[in-house]
C-alpha cells in the first residue's frame, strides 16, 4: 500500500527536554490512526510535529513523498488540515466568518456557498452562523473550528486531495451526541480516501473509530496495532498504571470501564 505520511526516527526536544523520542510511523490514504497514551506522553507534540508546526530536532517527515520541511506553508495547508486542542479568538468574528477562514485561496475557483452550508450543517452549527464565536460554549467553538478544518481540506487544489486531517482531542468538549456525530464525519472522510490522525484520550472512542492505535509512553511508541492488540490489561497496567479496567464487548472489540479499574 502506498503511504501518504511517513515519519522516521522523529525526535523533538523542547528546552533540552526530549518530548518525542525516535518515533517512526506511516499512515496510508483512508486510514484512521489514533494516538493514545497518558498525559505528557508526547501525543500533541508528535501531532504538531507531523503537521509541520514544530520542527523536529532529528528525523524526517514526508507527506506524499515530499519532505514537509521543504513545503511552503500554502502547499502544506492544501495537503493537510489540523484542528488544534485550544483556539482562542480575540476579536468578535462570527461563526460563519471563522469557518470561511479555512477556505483555501489557492484551490480551484468554486462557489463556496453549497460547500460551506453542507459542512456547517454536518457539524450542527448552521443555526449559529451569525453568532459571535467567543460567546459560544467550548463544545460549540470546537465544532466551529472542526468545520473550518473540513472546509480547508475540501477547498484544496485537486492534486493534493483527499489529504490528511490531524485532530488534537476533537471530542474533549463535546457532548455524547456530538462526539458520535464528529466521529461519523471522520469515518465518512476516511471512506473518501482522506487519512486521519487523531489524538484522543477516550480509549473506547479510539477503539471505535481507529483502524490502528499507536500508544505512546514517555515520548516513545510503546504499542501499535488494532484495538484488540493494544487495549488489554497488561498494556494498560504498564502504560497507565491501571489494572483490571478492560473487557470485551460481544462484537469482539475491547472496551475500558473505569468503574472496575484500580490504580496500581
Closer Cβ to other proteins, 80 or 212, answer by number:
80
Binding mask 11-50 for other proteins (x = CB under 8 A): -------------------------------------x--
Q: Which of 38, 10, 19, 12 is nearest to 236 (CA)?
A: 38
Q: How far is the CB of 137 from other proteins (least distance, A)?
A: 18
Our finding on whether 204 is near other proteins (CB under 8 A) is: no
Strand partners, 248: 254
CA atoms within 13 A on the CB side of 56: 26
- Does 69 bind other proteins (CB under 8 A)? Our answer is no
How far apart, in whole angstroms, are the C-alpha atoms of residue 227 and residue 33? 11
Our CB check for other proteins shows the closer of 75 and 230 to be 75
Q: Are 112 and 103 in contact (CB under 8 A)?
A: yes
Residue pair 232/244 in contact by the 8 Å Cβ criterion: no
Give how far Cα 131 sits from Cα of 32, 39, 98, 169, 173, Å: 33, 34, 11, 24, 19
Q: Does 264 bind other proteins (CB under 8 A)?
A: no
- Which residue is associated with the grid cell 462557489? 111
Q: Which is nearer to other proteins, 24 or 110 (CB)?
A: 110
- Candidates 31, 32, 47, 78: give the one binding other proteins (CB under 8 A): 78
From 81-89, 193-201, 210-218, 230-238, give the range in contact with other proteins by CB under 8 A. 81-89
Rg of the chain taking only CA atoms, in angstroms: 19
Decide: is 72 part of the binding site for other proteins (CB under 8 A).
Answer: yes
Does residue number 82 form part of the binding site for other proteins (CB under 8 A)?
A: yes
Q: Name which position in 67, 69, 101, 264 contacts other proteins (CB under 8 A).
A: 101
Establish if 92 lies at the interface with other proteins (CB under 8 A): yes
CA distance 39 to 3: 29
The stretch near other proteins (CB under 8 A) out of 67-75, 174-182, 206-214, 232-240 is 67-75
Does the footprint of other proteins cover residue 222 (CB under 8 A)?
no
Is residue 52 involved in binding other proteins (CB under 8 A)? yes
Q: Using CA atoms, how far apart are residues 153 and 134, in angstroms rounded to an integer?
A: 24
The residue from 112, 136, 208, 243 that contacts other proteins (CB under 8 A) is 112
3-state secondary structure of 80: strand
How many binding residues for other proteins (CB under 8 A)?
43
Strands of the 66-67 sheet, one edge to the other: 17-27, 5-14, 58-63, 66-67
What is the torsion angle, in degrees rounded to the nearest 10, for the CA atoms of residue 124, residue 190, residue 183 and residue 164? -80
Residue ranges binding other proteins (CB under 8 A): 48, 51-53, 72-78, 81-82, 84, 87-94, 96-98, 100-102, 104-106, 111-113, 116-117, 120-121, 126, 129-130, 149, 152
Amino acid at each position: 500500500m502506498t503511504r501518504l505520511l511517513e515519519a522516521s526516527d522523529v525526535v523533538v526536544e523542547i528546552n533540552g527536554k526530549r518530548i518525542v523520542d525516535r518515533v517512526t510511523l506511516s499512515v496510508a490514504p483512508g486510514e484512521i490512526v489514533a494516538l493514545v497514551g497518558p498525559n505528557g506522553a508526547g501525543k500533541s507534540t508528535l501531532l504538531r510535529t507531523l503537521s509541520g508546526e514544530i520542527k523536529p530536532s532529528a528525523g524526517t517527515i514526508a507527506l506524499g513523498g515530499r519532505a514537509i520541511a521543504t513545503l511552503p506553508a500554502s502547499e502544506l495547508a492544501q495537503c493537510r488540515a489540523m484542528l488544534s486542542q485550544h483556539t482562542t479568538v480575540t476579536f468578535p468574528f462570527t461563526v460563519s466568518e471563522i469557518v470561511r477562514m479555512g477556505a483555501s485561496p489557492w484551490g480551484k475557483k468554486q462557489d463556496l456557498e453549497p460547500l460551506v452550508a453542507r459542512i456547517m450543517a454536518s457539524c450542527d452549527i448552521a443555526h449559529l452562523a451569525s453568532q459571535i464565536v467567543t460567546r459560544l460554549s467550548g463544545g460549540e467553538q470546537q465544532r466551529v473550528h472542526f468545520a473550518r478544518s473540513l472546509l480547508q481540506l475540501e477547498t484544496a487544489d485537486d492534486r493534493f486531495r483527499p489529504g490528511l486531517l490531524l485532530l488534537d482531542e476533537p471530542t474533549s468538549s463535546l457532548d455524547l451526541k456530538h462526539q458520535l456525530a464528529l466521529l461519523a464525519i471522520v469515518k465518512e472522510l476516511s471512506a473518501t480516501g482522506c487519512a486521519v490522525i487523531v489524538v484522543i484520550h477516550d480509549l473506547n472512542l479510539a477503539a471505535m473509530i481507529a483502524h490502528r492505535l499507536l500508544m505512546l509512553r514517555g515520548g516513545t511508541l510503546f504499542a501499535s496495532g488494532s484495538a484488540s492488540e493494544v487495549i488489554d490489561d497488561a498494556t494498560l497496567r504498564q502504560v497507565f498504571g491501571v489494572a483490571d479496567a478492560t473487557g470485551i464487548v460481544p462484537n469482539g472489540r475491547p472496551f475500558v470501564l473505569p468503574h472496575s479499574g484500580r490504580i496500581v
